[in-house]
């Protein structure tokens, strides 16, 4: 019913190919075939303009937690836009939605985290974090504590600081990154890098790289360690059980701030409101975005513990930093409505005790498929490692990523959106996924694996 005439479809593709530069895309290659035009979403489904219906197992870009088509959110935004579409929060002014949202976030975040600086998304949240933690140490009279330790293959955004904090070397190669005083240690990627070690041995090994790095640099030089509780864009890398307790111990021992980048994992994705709770972390800073507004409008933030906020507020003087859209009223209104819906529908609990275990049980069985070397999942984020040889976890003879891309295309053609990270297939479906939709996801994933095999 939503199919436009072919001419209109082609017109959109032509406009796009002629004038739109896509993020993370070989635009020249895309322009040859034309981008797929997505024009509608409802629940966990999206439709392209040819009428193809797809189960969006990526929730957009990890963000559509409450699913598409929630008119309540649109109504809240509409009302806010009519009342006050914009005002800044720079010059000793505030407004109702930003104040309410800051309060609400303090209520639902881990106990010690009670203060939020707002941004437009996750990348600029990490830029803000970098300046804030250095400012924190400088305010305490320790300006030499500047270095931020991150991890290889981490993703912390695409701004200069975000991409520098991230550990993706192909991003560093463009734009002369990373910026100074950022360094990367190994990731807890047992399937890919653990060799003959048990997961727990490997987790400890990787955690202790943090201690080695701190000792190498000197603790008086290190400001913070940043990590995604579960690496998302790197391939849904779920750390071994031994990893996080050891990292927490090391951060405590050397007084290194722990920054949890919960841009993906925040707001129910791992079955608690924050993955910091899932992994029993005590972060000093939590970066948020994505599911905060369930993607309905752009908004992110940096949440600080009372200990940090106290120094920044009471000793730091003016923090010389801010965005025009810090605390945008309409985005805050969207976030408030999304958080209200999450509460009302008890979504973290639904993920933890109902749909999470239901999907996990079925997802983990995909490891029986001859093409799958490992299936893993926490909450509602999962990965399948594709391999030509399960026993040896071998890589494919063709260029890395070729099979993953093929699988992704088969997904699209069969009504399922999965993402390929190299030859790892990943999912992060909306948290409102029903049992029937979970069954459909598994059936389609199985069919796609058969096609790829």
Contact residues: ligand PLP, CB under 6 A: 121-123, 126, 155-157, 228, 232-233, 261, 263-264, 289, 300
Helix or strand run (H / E) with residue 182 = strand 182-185
Which residue number, 188 or 373, has a Cβ lying nearer to ligand PLP? 188
Residue nearest to ligand PLP (CB): 122
Which residue number, 426 or 448, has a Cβ lying nearer to ligand PLP? 426
Quote the CA–CA distance of 323 and 134 in Å, as a whole number: 19
**Burial environment of residue 26 by CB neighbours within 10 A (0 to 12, 13 to 18, 19 or more):** exposed
Quote the CA–CA distance of 420 and 233 in Å, as a whole number: 10
Quote the CA–CA distance of 162 and 225 in Å, as a whole number: 14
Asked if residue 104 lies in contact with residue 339, where contact means CB atoms within 8 angstroms, the answer is yes
Shortest Cβ 61–ligand PLP spacing (Å): 6
Which residue number, 8 or 25, has a Cβ lying nearer to ligand PLP? 25
Cβ neighbours, 10 Å, residue 324: 10
Which residue number, 263 or 351, has a Cβ lying nearer to ligand PLP? 263
Shortest Cβ 121–ligand PLP spacing (Å): 3
Which residue number, 66 or 161, has a Cβ lying nearer to ligand PLP? 161
Which residue number, 139 or 158, has a Cβ lying nearer to ligand PLP? 158
Shortest Cβ 2–ligand PLP spacing (Å): 28
Shortest Cβ 300–ligand PLP spacing (Å): 6
Helix or strand run (H / E) with residue 226 = strand 222-227
Which residue number, 281 or 438, has a Cβ lying nearer to ligand PLP? 281
Shortest Cβ 126–ligand PLP spacing (Å): 6
Shortest Cβ 91–ligand PLP spacing (Å): 26
Of 185, 224, 191, 181, the C-alpha closest to 208 is 185
Question: Residue 86: which region, alpha, beta or left (left: phi > 0; alpha: psi -120 to 50)?
Answer: beta
* Phi–psi pair at 421, nearest 5 degrees: -110, 100
Shortest Cβ 54–ligand PLP spacing (Å): 20
Shortest Cβ 123–ligand PLP spacing (Å): 3
Asked if residue 64 lies in contact with residue 56, where contact means CB atoms within 8 angstroms, the answer is yes
Which residue number, 96 or 152, has a Cβ lying nearer to ligand PLP? 152
The residues facing 376 across adjacent strands are 383
Of 423, 378, 55, the C-alpha closest to 231 is 378
Shortest Cβ 59–ligand PLP spacing (Å): 12
Quote the CA–CA distance of 91 and 201 in Å, as a whole number: 52
Which residue number, 227 or 366, has a Cβ lying nearer to ligand PLP? 227
DSSP states of 36-98 as a string? --EEEEEBTEEEETTS-EEEETTHHHHT-TT-B--HHHHHHHHHHHHH-S---SSSS---HHH
């Amino acid at each position: 019913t939503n199919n436009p005439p072919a001419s209109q479809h082609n017109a959109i593709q032509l406009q796009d190919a002629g004038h739109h530069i896509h993020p993370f895309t070989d635009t020249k290659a895309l322009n040859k075939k034309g981008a797929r035009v997505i024009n509608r979403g409802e629940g966990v489904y999206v439709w392209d303009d040819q009428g193809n219906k797809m189960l969006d197992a990526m929730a957009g870009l990890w963000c559509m937690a409450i699913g598409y088509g929630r008119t309540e959110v649109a109504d809240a935004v509409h009302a806010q836009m009519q009342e006050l579409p914009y005002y800044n929060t720079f010059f000793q002014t505030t407004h109702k939605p930003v104040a309410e949202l800051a309060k609400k976030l303090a209520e639902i975040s881990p106990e010690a985290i009670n203060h939020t600086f707002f941004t437009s998304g996750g990348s600029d949240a990490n830029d803000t974090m970098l300046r804030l933690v250095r400012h924190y140490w400088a305010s305490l009279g320790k300006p030499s504590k500047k270095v931020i330790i991150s991890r290889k293959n981490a993703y912390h955004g695409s701004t200069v600081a975000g991409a520098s904090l991230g550990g993706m070397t192909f991003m560093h190669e463009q734009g002369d990154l990373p910026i100074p005083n950022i360094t990367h240690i190994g990731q807890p990627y047992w399937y890919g890098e653990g060799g003959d070690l048990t997961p727990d041995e490997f987790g400890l090994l990787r955690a202790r790289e943090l201690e080695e790095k701190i000792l190498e640099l000197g603790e008086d030089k290190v400001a913070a360690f940043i990590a995604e509780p579960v690496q998302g864009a790197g391939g849904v890398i779920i750390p071994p059980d031994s990893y996080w307790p050891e990292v927490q111990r090391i951060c405590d021992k050397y007084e290194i701030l722990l920054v949890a980048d919960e841009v993906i994992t925040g707001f129910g994705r791992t079955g608690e409101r924050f993955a910091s709770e899932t992994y029993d972390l005590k972060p000093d800073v939590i970066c948020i975005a994505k599911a905060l507004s369930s993607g309905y409008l752009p908004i992110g933030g940096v949440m600080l513990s009372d200990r940090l906020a106290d120094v920044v507020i009471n000793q730091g003087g003016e923090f010389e930093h801010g965005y025009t859209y810090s605390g945008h009223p309409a985005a805050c209104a969207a976030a408030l409505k999304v958080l209200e819906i999450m509460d009302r529908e008890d979504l973290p609990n639904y993920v933890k005790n109902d749909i999470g275990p239901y999907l996990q049980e079925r997802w983990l069985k995909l490891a029986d498929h001859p093409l799958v070397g490992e299936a893993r999942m926490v909450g509602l984020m999962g990965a399948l490692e594709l391999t030509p040889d399960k026993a040896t976890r071998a890589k494919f003879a063709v260029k890395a990523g070729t099979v993953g891309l093929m699988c992704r295309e088969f997904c699209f053609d069969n009504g399922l959106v999965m993402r390929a990270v190299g030859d790892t297939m990943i999912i992060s479906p909306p948290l409102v996924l029903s049992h029937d939709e979970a069954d459909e996801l598994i059936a389609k994933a199985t069919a796609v694996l058969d096609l790829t095999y």
